[in-house]
């Protein structure tokens, strides 16, 4: 069985400033984000959990998170793990986007399908398809390994869509900064063990 420990990056400087940050805007971890990643590292060390492989989005905030959590393991960067591209919304204040484009968000302010028609960013289906391929590849190449993955909030939601076939992504809250999700894979099965566990307390 392939076991995936998927961590959303720690708080970035853009997160702290309330700026929508997809794949076009790349800021480093804030001081708080670095501390969050260290808490995750300490929690794994306490459980004596070591990773055979580490994958991460090449964006700085995810790369830094992976390096803090597993500093002795070489990180493999994969473009498929980059954050959802919010197009011309990237870099704008989150509150402004919610106000100006309210119909593309639900009552919990989760992004809804169809936003790409206005933002000119990614669409849900194409990113989910890429993540499907990523999961299939991991299960085939690494059938017994424990793998750390450092990625991004909305990408992790779409990854769960690839695992569970969730028709309504609004049922999933955005993962916390440094929130942990665990998934188990075989050649024929995908199982969500838990979602968005907070290890930073």
For the stretch 76-87, pLDDT in tens is: 999 999 998 999
Which residues sit in the known binding site for substrate? 8-15, 61, 83-86
The tokens describing 57, both together, are 């989005």
Q: When comparing pLDDT for 83 and 173, which is higher?
A: 83
Whole-angstrom CA distances from 149 to 61, 75, 79, 86, 121 are: 13, 9, 12, 22, 24
> What pLDDT score does 167 carry?
66
> What pLDDT score does 199 carry?
85
> What pLDDT score does 182 carry?
97
Confidence at 201, pLDDT banded by 50, 70, 90: low
Report the sign of the C-alpha dihedral through residues 112, 113, 117, 121, in that order: positive
Number of residues in the chain:
201
Cα–Cα dist 105/197, whole Å: 24
Beta bridge partners of 150: 7, 56
The answer to whether 60 touches 83, Cβ cutoff 8 Å, is no
Q: Choose the weakest-confidence range: 74-83, 101-110, 134-143.
A: 101-110
| 171 has a pLDDT exceeding 80 | no
Give the active site residue among 9, 39, 116, 152: 9
> What pLDDT score does 104 carry?
82
- Angle made by CA atoms 29, 30, 36, in degrees to the nearest 5: 80
Q: When comparing pLDDT for 54 and 48, which is higher?
A: 54
Beta strand pairing call for 180-185 and 190-197: antiparallel
> What pLDDT score does 98 carry?
87
Give the active site residue among 39, 45, 79, 83: 83
107: annotated active-site residue = no
| 119 has a pLDDT exceeding 70 | yes
Averaged pLDDT of the chain = 92
> What pLDDT score does 142 carry?
97
| 91 has a pLDDT exceeding 70 | yes
Structural domain count of the chain: 1
Cα–Cα dist 156/94, whole Å: 19
Report the CATH number at residue 78.
3.40.50.1240
Cα–Cα dist 160/183, whole Å: 9
83: annotated active-site residue = yes
Taking only Cα atoms into account, the Rg of the chain, rounded to an integer number of angstroms, comes to 16
Q: When comparing pLDDT for 90 and 108, which is higher?
A: 90
Task: Quote the domain boundaries for residue 107.
Answer: 2-197
What pLDDT, in 10s, does the model give residues 32-47?
Answer: 999 999 999 999 999 9
| 64 has a pLDDT exceeding 90 | yes
> What pLDDT score does 172 carry?
79
Q: What percentage of the chain reaches a pLDDT higher than 70?
A: 98
């Amino acid at each position: 069985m392939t076991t995936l420990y998927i961590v959303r990056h720690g708080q970035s400087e853009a997160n702290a400033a309330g700026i929508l940050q997809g794949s076009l805007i790349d800021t480093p971890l804030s001081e708080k984000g670095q501390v969050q990643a260290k808490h995750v590292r300490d929690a794994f060390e306490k459980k004596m959990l070591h990773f055979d492989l580490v994958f991460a989005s090449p964006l700085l905030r995810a790369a830094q998170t992976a390096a803090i959590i597993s500093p002795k393991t070489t990180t493999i960067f994969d473009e498929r793990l980059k954050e959802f591209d919010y197009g011309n919304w990237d870099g704008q204040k989150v509150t402004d986007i919610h106000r100006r484009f309210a119909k593309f968000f639900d009552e919990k302010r989760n992004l809804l399908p169809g936003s790409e028609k206005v933002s000119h960013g990614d669409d849900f289906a194409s990113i989910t398809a890429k993540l499907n391929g990523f999961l299939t590849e991991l299960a085939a190449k690494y059938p017994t390994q424990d793998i750390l993955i450092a990625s991004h909030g909305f990408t992790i939601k779409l990854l769960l869509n690839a695992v569970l076939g969730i028709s309504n992504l609004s049922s999933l809250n955005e993962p916390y900064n440094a929130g942990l999700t665990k998934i188990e894979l075989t050649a024929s099965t995908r199982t969500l063990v838990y979602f968005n566990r907070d290890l930073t307390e």
